[in-house]
Each structure stands twice: as structure tokens, then as C-alpha cells.
Chains A and B, each alone.
Chain A
Amino acid sequence: MYTFVSVWLVWIAFIVFIGGLIYRFVTLVSMAKKDKVIFPYMSLKYSLRSLVHWIIPFASRNMRMRYETTVVTFAFHLCAVLVPIFLTAHVAMIAFSWGVSWPMLSEAAADGLTIVVILAAVFFLLRRWMLPEVRFVTYPSDYLLLLVAAAPFITGFIAHRQWLDYDVIVMIHMICGAAMLILIPFTRLSHMLFFPFTRAYMGSEFGAVRNAKDW
């Protein structure tokens, strides 16, 4: 079981994740050709202008209107991407298998950033409950997606602290991680892939056609 999860499931997850992203990207491009307005209006300059204003904290008016959401959202996304890539245990496993490695986070830093991800997920959960405009558009799938995104970090944290049966928790952790990777291309977590493209199109339309700012 452990071997199946740690070898096969991880491989399957990465193949589905990368294959899924490629599939979604290819279908996006072919649909974009059908949607006749997209390519004629796309502009690299205005795409980048828009992206820059939306990946820098507080560079857009809406981000300045909600400081707490902006801080938490940036912290969540940054940590959720950085921790798995630079975690000592992950890097060591890859180094052990393939002989390649890269810089690692210190244990304290990894712990801290993982807690940031978990607390941010709690914040998103509370936001869904407490703000009527968010609660109104919340489906059960929104809770599920939040759980899918947070679970690898919660289980990873528990495993690292060795609070419960380590082997079981590590296995659950790997299953959660695999589930997240598999689900990214096929659920609303695909905003990871689509964010730059939706922004680029809107940025192009605002910049090149409407001569206006979109931030």
C-alpha cells in the first residue's frame, strides 16, 4: 500500500496534473480561435501591464479596499506554491531518487509558512460563512475545493510534528497531495492555469481597445 501510494500514485498524480494542464491549455487555445474576438485584440504590452498590477499587492483599487483579504490571499498563494517545492523532505526525496536538488527551506521556515497556509484557509472558510455576498454564491463544492487545497498542508504539518501514527499520516498526506494535483486541471482550482490568460485578455481589451486602466 505504502509503495503504491508513494510511487505509483505520485507518478499518476503528476502525469494527470501536467497532462491535464496541457489538455486544458490546448482546448483553451482552440476555443479562443472560435471566440473570434480574442486573438485580434490580444496585446502583449497590455497583458503584462494588467498582470503586473494584479500580482503586486495593493496595486489595484480593490486590493486597497480590502487590506486583510489582500494580505491573506497573497500569503496563501505564495506559501502554497513555495512550501511544497522547497520543503526539505520533498527536495531530499527527489535528490535521493534522481540525484538533483535545489535550495531548501529551513524547518522553522517551512513550519511557519505551512501554518500561514492553514490559517489562511481558515480565513477563507470564515469569509464564506460570514460575508453574505460570499455565502450567497457558495456551493458545497467550494468547501470541498478549500479542503482539497488545505489538506496536504494540514496532513503534512501533522506528519512533520509526528502527532499521530507517522506512516499512516504520511500516506494520507501523499493521497491528499495527489488528489490536489489531479483536481487542479479539472476544477475551479484551474484558476492556477487560467489566471494569466483571463487577466491578459481583460488587460488587452482595456488597454488596446478601451484606452483605460483595469486595476
Chain B
Amino acid sequence: MALAALPKVSDPGLDETSKTLTKEQINKVINQVVDKETAARFETYLNTCVHCGLCSDACHWFLSNDRDPRFSPVGKVKQTLWEILKRKGNVDEELLRDCSRIAHTECNVCRRCSMYCPFGIDIAYLLLTVRRICSLLGVVPQFLQDTVNSHAVTMNQMWVKQDEWIDTLQWQEEDARAEVVGARIPLDKEGADVFYSVIAPEPKILAQLIGNMAQIMRVAGIDWTMPSFDGWDNSNMAMYSGDFETMGRVERAHHEAALKLKARRIVMGECGHAFRGAVYDGPKWLGWREPPIPLIHAVEFYHELITTGRIKIAKKFETPVTVQEPCNIIRGRGLGQKLREIINATCSDFRPPEPAFEHNYCCGAGGGVINCGPPWKTSRVKGNQVKAEQLAATKAKIVITPCHNCHSGIEDIIGGYKLGMHVKFFSEILIEVMEIPEELKA
């Protein structure tokens, strides 16, 4: 069937690196991944799929691109894995480049499709296997690879140096003290109840979120700490590029930092993929069934603070709000109900999206897609028109997004489709509505 050519996107990470490879190199890596790194799931998924196409309606890319079959989950597997296997691993640079484009930039590995496949085939896992092959061959979108390089060298995503990290925390502590008396960001405190970790974009470009947390922790009276050393960044783009060796190092560093400080539990900031890496993908790679110490996402933590009365709500947020339910904490951890409860506890006009909870659409940015950078922004925003329509239908003014990838992705969609909305993390709502006791008011 004739399908119009897709717009060509230039990305040296794909175009230049793929040119340097020989067929033998490609073949060797494919065989290594297929023979040594995959087993029952890979084989069974490929042999069970009856090519029915029922996964298609799950995918925001498919729905947003006029139901173009190249964007359906199984369509993406066909163009990548089936083609690789059909050619018995004898793949040329052109196919490899297409594989990376499809697996890295046109699939958010949000796993919505595995809820629509009658067999429960984990299609995202198949596309992550394609990413793995591409990554081992060095064919990865340049911006994404840069963040992975940063992880490998600095153990954080954004080349943040240790003195910059500590300096940022001190600066944010000072800012927090201007609002709440005695707010602190305790560094390297042993035995604290909470080890709080964030993703590197927070100190780099959204430092006030850390200051907000210092205020919330002070008002709630939480015994907490952050590490001054590597392991403070809980994000993990290596998990998405296919560089699982680096992914494992990053996850280990994060968990070990908390263990070193003898913290009772880890609370992770408002990020979905980081949570997925820490609770699931990382431990799996490292051979741990569960994370070594209890680990919760910020949404669970805020829920605990609000329901136990440690944080009281002074006045509800009145502007109409809706929610972007991040895949990795809703479909990935079942926090949908708790998220609704904290929104209802803090906001007076909540407009629920449809579809919702596990069935909500992905933001289009997660899974490393937004990290593929500016070259791919146009296709990413086009690939999530369905999200723009869903948000517009709520007629809300604010979209609460307790995830960094969702936050940036939804902002792009709001801009691209001129929705006239704004995006907020939940902590930004909480900081506005929480009651600060008189004695703590600065």
C-alpha cells in the first residue's frame, strides 16, 4: 500500500553513526541481543502475535497521525523487529536508522498498548529491544545520547558538577527560608526518615522546585536529607536509549546513596520515568526483585502528608484544573486514585480527563522521546494531537502533571495547539494552598 513519505529529520546521531557501521558489526550485535539477551518473552511475544492490529487504538501516535498504520504499535514492530528477523540480522544502515527513528522517537514505551493487546504482549518491551540493538551499535538520537554520556561520566543527566549541585541546594535553602522560618535542606544526614532525590533538570533549570520541597518538609516536620555526592540524580535516560549497563550503574548509585546515609526510605520527586527506573527497570537489571529500601513517589508522599494532617490546606486552589496522569506512576504503579485524592483535597474545580487512570493517553514526551531533542519536536507534537483534544475538552486552565517529562511534553502541546492552558507540578499547587503556621511564617 502506498503511504506518503514521512518528513525527513536530520540527526547526526542516526545519520552519521549508522554510516560508520559494517554489515558484519550490525549482524553480530543483532545476534548477540537476540540469542543472549532475550528469551521467553521475546520468543513467545513474536510467535503469539496474530497480526490482528487490535493494539492500534491504544497508541496516541497512531490516533494523532490520521490512523497511519506505520504508527500503530504492531506496525512499529513490523517495520523494525520483524524486518530485522526476516533478514536474519543482515541489516543495512538504512534499516538501522529507521529502527532508531521508530523505536527511539516514535514510541514512548508508555505500555498502553499492552493493555489493548488481547494476549497482553508487551510491545514496548519489543521496541526497547530494538533500542538496545541500536544503542549497542551507537545509533541513538544525538541529544538522547548526550544525556546518556552525561549519566556515564557524572552520574547525573545534565553535566551538573558537584559544587554546582551543593551551591544550588544552598541557594534554594536560602530562598525557602525567606518564606518559611527554619526551612533547611539537610545534606548527608545519616538515619533520616526521608532520603529525597530529584532529577538533574531540577538543579539545572527548575531549582525552585527544590526550594518548594524545603518549605513543604519544614511545614510537615519531616526528618529528611539529600546527598551531597553522586546518587542524588534519580533520572535515567540510559534506560531509554538502550544502554542498560549505564542504566544499572545509575540505579545502583541512587539506591546506594540512600543506603550509605542509612535513610529509612527514599522519596522521589515528581518524575515518572525516574520512578520506573528506580522501582522496576533498574532492580530487574541489577537482579533485585524489589528495591533494597522502601521507595515512594512524590504523589504517595503528598498523599501521606495531606491525609495524616501533617500538611493542612488553608484555601483551595480555585482555577479549573485537570490532570495529566503519568504512565509510569499510574499504569506503572497504580497511583491514580491517590493522585485524584490529593487534587480533590487541594483544588475546588477539578475537571477529569477522558479516558482516565490506566487508560489515559501518554504525554508523548516520555520514554526518552523528548530527550531526542529539538530535531524531533515537530513530529512529537504532531504525534499527540489526541492529547491536545483531550485536554481542550476538559476546559481546564491548569494541567497538573506530577512528572517532568509530562510537564515539558504537555507544555509543548499546549503551545503547539494553542490551548491557552498552563502546566503545574503538584508541589506548585500545594505550596500555594498549604497552611503555614503563624510561628513559621517568615
Binding site for B on A (CB under 8 A): 28, 31-32, 34-38, 40-41, 50, 54, 60-62, 65-66, 69, 73, 131-139, 142, 145, 188, 190-191, 194-195, 197-199, 201-203, 205-206, 209-215
Contact = CB atoms under 8 A, between A and B. Distances in A.
A18 to B, nearest CB: 19
B48 A195 contact: yes
Contacts of A66: 54, 57
A182 B187 CA distance: 67
11 contacts: A69-B54, A133-B62, A133-B75, A134-B52, A136-B69, A194-B48, A202-B114, A211-B334, A213-B358, A214-B114, A214-B120
Which of B40, B72, B116 has the largest count of A CB atoms less than 10 A from its CB? Answer: B40
Nearest to A24: B47
A210 B332 contact: yes
Interface string B63-78: 0000111101011001
B49 interface: yes
A209 B280 contact: yes
B41 A62 contact: no
B72 A201 contact: no
Nearest to A65: B57
Contact of A28 (B38, B44, B67): B44
Contacts of B58: 62
B205 interface: no
B63 to A, nearest CB: 11
Which 6 pairs show the lowest CB-CB distances between chains A and B?
Answer: A211-B334, A202-B120, A136-B69, A35-B39, A31-B40, A134-B53
Given A194-B47, A195-B119, A199-B119, 11 more contacts: A61-B115, A62-B118, A133-B74, A136-B75, A137-B74, A190-B47, A195-B118, A198-B121, A203-B120, A212-B336, A214-B115
A212 B334 contact: yes
Interface string B366-398: 000000000000000000000000000000000
Interface string B105-135: 0000000001110111110000000000000
A16 B122 CA distance: 30
Contacts of A61: 115-116, 355, 359
Contacts of B70: 136
B111 to A, nearest CB: 9
Contact of A37 (B48, B116, B284): B284
Nearest to A131: B53
Which of A41, A60, A191, A195 has the largest count of B CB atoms less than 10 A from its CB? Answer: A191
Contacts of A210: 280, 331-334
Contacts of B116: 61-62
Contacts of A188: 47-51
Given A34-B39, A212-B358, A191 B50 contact: yes
A137 B51 contact: yes
Contacts of A133: 53, 56, 62, 67, 69, 72, 74-75
Interface of B: 1, 38-45, 47-54, 56-58, 62, 67-70, 72, 74-75, 78, 114-116, 118-122, 280, 284, 287, 289, 330-336, 355, 358-359
Contact of B287 (A36, A73, A197, A209): A36
A22 to B, nearest CB: 16
A58 to B, nearest CB: 13
B52 to A, nearest CB: 7
Contacts of A215: 115
Contact of B44 (A54, A60, A135, A198): A198
A198 B53 contact: no
A4 B372 CA distance: 63
A28 B46 CA distance: 13
Nearest to A200: B120
A74 B431 CA distance: 52
A57 to B, nearest CB: 12
Contacts of B280: 209-210
B48 A190 contact: yes
Given A35-B40, A210-B332, A132 B47 contact: no
A44 to B, nearest CB: 16
B36 to A, nearest CB: 10
Contacts of A37: 41, 284
Given A133-B75, A210-B332, A31 B43 contact: yes
Which of A50, A195, A198 has the largest count of B CB atoms less than 10 A from its CB? Answer: A198
Given A135-B1, A190-B47, A210-B332, A54 B120 contact: yes
Contacts of A36: 284, 287
B132 to A, nearest CB: 14
A191 to B, nearest CB: 5
A34 B41 CA distance: 10
Contacts of B39: 31-32, 34-35
A139 B51 contact: yes
Nearest to A34: B39
Nearest to B43: A31
B41 to A, nearest CB: 5
A153 B91 CA distance: 41
A69 to B, nearest CB: 7
A40 B62 contact: no
A94 B359 CA distance: 49
Contacts of A54: 118, 120
Contacts of B114: 202, 214
Contacts of B120: 50, 54, 198-199, 201-203, 214
A202 B125 CA distance: 12
Contacts of A135: 1, 69
Nearest to B116: A62
A212 B53 CA distance: 24
A198 to B, nearest CB: 5
A122 B305 CA distance: 58
Nearest to B122: A202
B118 A32 contact: no
Contacts of B331: 210, 212
A194 B41 CA distance: 11
Contact of B69 (A132, A203, A211): A132
